[in-house]
A and B are shown apart, each in its own frame.
Chain A
């Protein structure tokens, strides 16, 4: 949904606000420092890029998790990417609403994740979770051998956004990008 908005912004960008395409591209191409195959656009955390009449670029990004330690690194990377296209007046704002969901990850992003060895998040039901003590997760396929015979080893992995799984077929552990 938000990706559509950004897509439309991108098409209309140079007409509506006068910002140059390279400004958007510079921001959109910034990589997530913890999953360096995904751009912040793939991840769905880039919410808005605007350049005002004075050449000041305003960027809005949203955190994946409240405590995500990558946000400050991403802010620095955005500032640095924009300076390469000659924009030194930059404001990066963190916005919380609406809350990020893995459903905003682009299909291209999901493919890149799988190739990188991280199982991409499954579509998340928009309904609130029910009251059962343990919520069910559909099978996550092993990113190495493709087997659906896998099990969750830990709901928390190497970063806030991932859980740790193991494949019963090839016995290899792998990360799963949690659907939230």
Chain B
């Protein structure tokens, strides 16, 4: 009995000793998309109109697809290093909170548990504008990565996030330049999201050798173009760029907000309660 239990917990536990190197870089890219997808999925069947329901579902699906490609690759990197099989599912479902390396921007609720009463569509769109503009710049640059797999995933993803950027842009323009109420709400949303922008451009967690070999993209170099692109939308939407100090974050080191645990509990409970379940 004891032996059985310990074998089982070995199979389920996921422990990666260090958060550095190619594995950690790929996982950080994957986790941004995976957690953003999970959060956005809360809107399904709860969006303000059916077209939007479909749009948010599609965007979440694109993000999930990117996460799957990236986690599959991270699993191959990990398996090659440790000799232990590791796939997208073991990484998505059997890592604990401290092993997730996504930014805080994507894990927080949408002003309420997204899609639940109290969640704010303005927050969803302000955040999508921030995230998709960042991912567009990131994947554009990552297409030239010296790592062939990352370059291939990026070439695929850049076309998708470009659509997300268009979608967020159209909504931010419509809400910002809409009624006094929609203007005030989307401005408040932008103000609330803005402290989490800086973490996207932090390069301190990336193994310097990956930057040197140009396998990884240095996110700090994406900041200016990102700012210009977002500012142009914010300006046209008659909104104001927030001037706020950055939040204290730590996502790239596995330090997360309180809401992350709840998100993971929902995302992982089925796979953990019924290991190996298929349908």
**Would you call A156 and B153 a contact (CB within 8 A)?**
no
**Would you call B155 and A96 a contact (CB within 8 A)?**
yes
Map CB proximity to A onto B153-164 as digits: 1 under 8 Å, 0 otherwise: 101110110110
Write out the residue numbers on chain B whose beta carbons fall within 8 Å of the beta carbon of A68: 65
Smallest CB–CB gap between A152 and chain B, Å?
10
**Would you call A98 and B61 a contact (CB within 8 A)?**
no
**A94-127, CB < 8 A from B:** 95-100
A129 part of interface (Cβ distance < 8 Å)? yes
Smallest CB–CB gap between B161 and chain A, Å?
10
B51 part of interface (Cβ distance < 8 Å)? yes
A-B contact count (CB 8 A): 87
**A141-177, CB < 8 A from B:** 153-158, 160, 164
**Would you call A158 and B156 a contact (CB within 8 A)?**
no
Write out the residue numbers on chain B whose beta carbons fall within 8 Å of the beta carbon of A69: 61
**Would you call B233 and A133 a contact (CB within 8 A)?**
yes
Q: By DSSP majority rule, is chain A's interface helix, strand, loop, or mixed?
A: loop
A11 part of interface (Cβ distance < 8 Å)? no
**Would you call B68 and A67 a contact (CB within 8 A)?**
yes
Whole-angstrom distance between the alpha carbons of A153 and B50 in the complex?
11
**Would you call A63 and B51 a contact (CB within 8 A)?**
no
Whole-angstrom distance between the alpha carbons of A158 and B55 in the complex?
9
Write out the residue numbers on chain A whose beta carbons fall within 8 Å of the beta carbon of B149: 96
B64 part of interface (Cβ distance < 8 Å)? yes
Write out the residue numbers on chain A whose beta carbons fall within 8 Å of the beta carbon of B57: 156
Besides the known contacts A67-B64, A133-B236, 20 further A-B residue pairs in the complex with CB atoms under 8 A apart: A65-B65, A67-B61, A67-B66, A96-B69, A96-B149, A96-B153, A97-B151, A98-B155, A129-B162, A131-B232, A134-B166, A153-B51, A154-B51, A154-B52, A156-B51, A156-B57, A156-B58, A156-B167, A160-B58, A160-B61
Instruction: List B residues at the A interface (Cβ < 8 Å).
Output: 51-52, 54-55, 57-59, 61-66, 68-69, 140, 148-149, 151-153, 155-157, 159-160, 162-163, 166-167, 169-170, 173, 229, 232-233, 236
